[in-house]
Each structure stands twice: as C-alpha cells, then as structure tokens.
Chain A
Amino acid sequence: MSIHDLSVPIAVPARSWRDRLGSIVPILVLAPSLAASFVYVFVFTGWTLYLSLSDSTLLPSYGLTGLDNYASLWSNRRWNIAYTNLFLFSGFYIVGSMAVGLLLAILIDQRVRGEAVWRTIFLYPLAVSFIVTGTVWSWLYNPVDGIQALVRGLGWSDFSFALTSDRNHAIYAVIITGVWQSSGFAMALFLAGLRSVDPDLVKAAQIDGASVVRTYRKVILPTIAPIFLAVAVIQIQFAIKTFDLVAALTRGGPGISTTFPAIYVYDLMFQRGEIGEGAAAAVMMLAALAVVLVPYSLWVVWRRRAEAGNG
C-alpha cells in the first residue's frame, strides 16, 4: 500500500497548494533521521575504513598505506588471542544462554504457579548494565572474598573457584557471567515461541500417547526452530560487541588472557595512539558481524517470500 493508493473520492478540481505540501510532508519528516542514519551508517563506516588504510597514529592522518595496518594487526599475538577468545566466548555463550533459556522456558511452560514472579527473577539481569553485572561478579570470583572463600569456610578446604585470577580459565568467568546475564532474554523469546505453538497439535500428540519429553522433542521444538536461529543471531551480535562486561569483570586480564576485539580497538585508539590499526580492528569486528548477519538476513527475506508465495 502506498500513498498513491489512498485516492480521495471527492472531486478535487486541481492539486491545491495544501495537497502538494501535504504530499511532501512525510518526506520532510523523515529527512533528518534519514540524513543522520546515512551519515552514521555509511559516512562513519567509510571514514573508519579509510582510517584503517591510512598511516594514522596518534592523530588521524590521511596518507594511504594500503593494508599495512591489517598486516600488523594479524601479526600481533594479542589480536590473535582476542580473536580466539571471541570464538570461544561466542560458542559457549550462545549455546549456554540458549540451553539455560530453553530449560527455564520449558519449566515455566508447565503451568507453574506464580509464573510472573519466576519470569521477573530470571529476566531482571537484562535490565542491569554489564558494568554492574561485571563488577558484582568480579567480587564473587575474587578468591579472597568471594565464592571460593565462602565454600572453603564451610569446610571444603581445597575448593577452587578462582577463575578470574587464572589466565587459562579467566575466559570461562566471562562466559559464565555472560550466560547469567542473558539467559533470561533467551527464556522470554523461547517462552513466547512455546506459547505460539498450536494447542491442537500438542493435544493430538498427547492423544496419540506421546510423553511430555517426546511431545517437546518431536512436535513443539521443531515448530519453533526459527526462534532458535533468531536468538542465536541476537546473541552473536552481543558477543561480538562485548566490551563492557570484560571492562568491568577482568579488564582484559590476567595479563592479556581475556582481551576481546572490542577491548583491543579501544586500547589501540585511545590508550596507545594507534588509530590506524585500531580502525583496522574495528573493521574486522564489522566483518565478523557481516559474516553472521548477511546470510541470516538473506534467509529471512527468502523465507518471507516463500511464505508469501505459498499463502
């Protein structure tokens, strides 16, 4: 439906001033937002792309040096750790938050009492910033004051939970905290999906004598498959952009063991005065996002067309 379809059946002699003004009002209203979005999306991205190919160091500079910044980025051990961490974190974080979210959604779906209370409890971390979550969990992981000290105090004297002070395991502290923060969000989306399943379908399965587990596995979960993909894509985005959580939880440490691309960009640009290389790292983040989002968007468009074709 476009504005051209909204023909007014009353006889209008000629297009009056008012009409003509009226037809450009929508465009005038949209224009500032469009301009801002255009600058933000295209000009800013282009700008950073250019900086990534330039010889900028402490200040932006516009002499082109080709792919030098990328070469120096990829030859840096710290960047490689950051990229490995990103893969490790994304994998565990997505699987973890989806698994916990799905379990919680299925539990709540069993017609439990006080559903709203459970939901509120599982969702509240979503309202809290990664800064707050990261700060509080950094205390809980602290071996002297946190969970380890508590459990040892209870008598289990060699209990160990000092993830954040151990460079081989600190990344798991980030994963656990991330899952804690975001599984409620996955739960909310899964629960909505479970509620949208056709009740007749479920009833039919039950009449056929299928157990609850079998009904979920064979009937309910397959019908909400698209939600799994949507949740995964949203979580991957969070994972790639992760900055605040690490900044508050481990500050990239111990050593450089929990460095992430987002932390790396910030560090290069604003702490070390390597703007060109920082821009290259930012472009790599965008590339990682595009690898995930472009195929997903194409798939969504294809599915909508297919549905429209069938309907």
Chain B
Amino acid sequence: MAELAAAIDLEAAAASRRHFWSRFAIYGLLTVFAAIYLIPLLVVVFNSFREQAEIARDGLISLPKTFRLEAWAQAWSTYCIAGTCQGMQRNFLNSLWMTIPATIISTLLGAVNGYVLSKWRFKGSEVLFTLMLLGVFMPGQIALMPWAFVLGKLGLTNSTYGLILVHVVQGISFTTLFCRNYYVGIPDDLIKAARIDGAGFWRIFWKIIIPLSPPILIVTVIWQFTGIWNEYLFGVVFTSGQAQPITAALVALTASGTTARSYDVMSAAVLIGALPPLMIYLFGGKYFVRGLTQGAIK
C-alpha cells in the first residue's frame, strides 16, 4: 500500500511539475510577444515627453528622465510642415471633419441597404448584392484617375468634402455587407408579424431593425472610423498642404525633418495621429472583436 501511495505521489508530483513548466512556458511566451507589441508604442509615448537633448544623448529607446509637454504643444500648433508653421491641428481637424460624417453616412446607407437586401428581397436583388460586394475588393489605385476627374468636375479637389464623398462611396460595399449578413439572422417571422399589424417599410426599420442593430452598428462604425481616419492614398493624392488629412501631414512632417530630427515633436505628432482610432478601439474593441468574428467577416 505504502509503495502504491508513494508511486501515486511521485506521479502526481511529476504531473504538477509538468503543469508548472507548461504554464511557465505559456506565460513566458505571451510576455515576450506582449513586449514586442508594446515596445514601439512605449518608445513613442516616452519620447513625446522627453527633451530632444536627452533623446540625442541616451538614444531613441530609453526610459525617460525628464517629463514635459512642450513637444505636444509644438506638434499641435507651432511645428513647421513644408513651410507652414501651424503644427498638426488643421490636419487633425480635417481628419475629424472628414471621418465623422463619412462614417455616419456610410453606416446609415449600409444599414438601410442591408435591411432591403435581407428583408425586402426582390427579383435580382442577390445579383445586385454580389455586384455591390465587388467594391470591397477594388484596389484604390484603379479608381484614382476617375476620382481625380470626378472631384475636379464637382469642384471638390483639395477639399474635405471631396474625401468624404470618396470614402462614403468606397465604404458602401463594406457597410452593406456587414449589415446584410447580420440582418439575415433576424427571423423573417418578426417582419411578417409587423406587416400583418400594418407596419410599413420605414416603421419596421426604425421600430424593429434598428433596436436589434447595436452589435453590428458598433462593428461598422469602428471599421469605418479607423479605416477612414487611417487612410492615406486618397488623402495624399486629392489634397495638399493645409487641406490634407493627418496621415498625409504626418508623412510630410517626418520626411521634412531629415536634417535635425526632432524625435520629441515627431513622436507627439505620431501619437496625435494615432489617438482617435486607438481610443475608439480601446473603448469599443471588445464589441469589435466579437462582431468581427461572429459574422462581419464571413
């Protein structure tokens, strides 16, 4: 008996040792990867608070010894980009005034389109849906010259309105796809019952569909907001100087500082450009991942 008990003990001890080491390996690997993912972010955050002299002395990757907000103030309002010394604030606001309306309009259009394509199908609607989907795959490069021409004709070259138009048209396929796939899951009986009660197209939309929509609308808004805010190609092609969105301004700023690189100001500028989508992601990321994996991408 004692022998048996000892053998079991030994086995249990071995098992718990194995368990310990496998746990150790799991958390060890996760920590290494977390460091790789976080260090670039920490480097910019630290550098935006350090003095340029300190960065020059201690190198770019180092813990901060000083703390100051001047770099942020400079990046926001006084730093010179391509001859104009007003910092990033204009470009930041351009991006905001471009992203908010474009996100709202494209999401609303996606919601009604998805509603029609899932609950009010008509002959040929599946074919039309497939055609709209093609927009998801279009590379922006193929539309550059036509857009340049259309924006020119409409008098929207070098303007935020022009970019809003481009992003809304480009976004329709995504938002329609997301909403349509989600609404397909809403039971048709619900709609049928409402129709029997005399509810029409819009009533059903506002009273039944929209109240059931928050999960997919959150996904769509996050997707559109981050996508439009982070977009660069259209911004750099269709606008210049003070009319550019922040991504284009950031490239102009970091390219111009080749002689004396002021990493402090550039770091602050990078963070100003990254903050809005990061905030949206931090507050809505949970819903985003859930929605994305549940059906937005199928």
Q: Which residues from chain A sit less than 8 Å from chain B, CB to CB?
A: 1-3, 6, 8-10, 18, 22, 25-27, 29-30, 32-34, 36-41, 43-45, 47-48, 51, 60, 100, 103-104, 107-108, 110, 112, 116, 118-133, 135-140, 142, 145-147, 149-150, 153, 180, 184, 188-189, 191-192, 230, 234, 237, 240-241, 243-244, 247-248, 251, 261-262, 265-266, 269-270, 275, 278-279, 281-283, 285-286, 289, 293
Given contacts A40-B170, A41-B134, A107-B29, contact A247 B232 (CB under 8 A): yes
| A234-B136 Cα distance, complex, nearest whole Å | 11
The answer to whether A282 and B144 have CB atoms under 8 Å apart is yes
The answer to whether A33 and B176 have CB atoms under 8 Å apart is yes
Given contacts A33-B132, A241-B140, contact A145 B169 (CB under 8 A): no
**Residues of chain A contacted by B121 (CB below 8 angstroms):** 1-3
Q: What are 24 A-B pairs at a CB distance below 8 A?
A: A2-B121, A3-B122, A6-B188, A6-B191, A6-B195, A22-B200, A29-B116, A30-B112, A30-B113, A36-B168, A36-B172, A127-B280, A129-B274, A131-B247, A135-B251, A139-B43, A145-B59, A234-B297, A247-B251, A248-B251, A248-B254, A266-B237, A279-B145, A285-B139
Interface centre among B113, B146, B233 (most CB of A within 10 A): B146
Given contacts A132-B250, A150-B61, A251-B255, contact A127 B277 (CB under 8 A): yes
Does B26 have its Cβ within 8 Å of any Cβ on chain A?
Answer: yes
Given contacts A188-B292, A285-B141, contact A10 B196 (CB under 8 A): yes
The answer to whether B146 and A6 have CB atoms under 8 Å apart is no
How large, as a class, is the contact surface on chain B?
35 or more
Does B201 have its Cβ within 8 Å of any Cβ on chain A?
Answer: yes
| A32-B125 Cα distance, complex, nearest whole Å | 14
| A132-B294 Cα distance, complex, nearest whole Å | 29
**Residues of chain B contacted by A130 (CB below 8 angstroms):** 230, 232
Does B6 have its Cβ within 8 Å of any Cβ on chain A?
Answer: no
The answer to whether A146 and B116 have CB atoms under 8 Å apart is no
| A230-B298 Cα distance, complex, nearest whole Å | 8
Given contacts A8-B196, A121-B37, contact A44 B147 (CB under 8 A): yes
Does B40 have its Cβ within 8 Å of any Cβ on chain A?
Answer: yes
Chain B 28-69, CB-CB to A under 8 Å as 1, else 0, gives 011001101110110110000000000000011110000000
Interface of chain A: mostly helix, strand, loop or mixed: helix
Give the distance to chain A from B287, nearest Cβ to Cβ, in Å: 12
Given contacts A10-B196, A131-B250, A145-B60, contact A30 B270 (CB under 8 A): no
The answer to whether B277 and A128 have CB atoms under 8 Å apart is yes
The answer to whether B270 and A122 have CB atoms under 8 Å apart is no
The answer to whether B286 and A116 have CB atoms under 8 Å apart is yes
The answer to whether A286 and B128 have CB atoms under 8 Å apart is no
**Residues of chain A contacted by B17 (CB below 8 angstroms):** none
**Residues of chain B contacted by A230 (CB below 8 angstroms):** 297
The answer to whether B274 and A289 have CB atoms under 8 Å apart is no
**Residues of chain B contacted by A135 (CB below 8 angstroms):** 250-251, 254, 266, 270
The answer to whether B232 and A48 have CB atoms under 8 Å apart is no
| A133-B270 Cα distance, complex, nearest whole Å | 9
**Residues of chain A contacted by B135 (CB below 8 angstroms):** 37, 40-41
The answer to whether A112 and B30 have CB atoms under 8 Å apart is yes
Does B282 have its Cβ within 8 Å of any Cβ on chain A?
Answer: yes
The answer to whether B188 and A45 have CB atoms under 8 Å apart is no
**Residues of chain A contacted by B109 (CB below 8 angstroms):** 32-33
Give the distance to chain A from B282, nearest Cβ to Cβ, in Å: 7
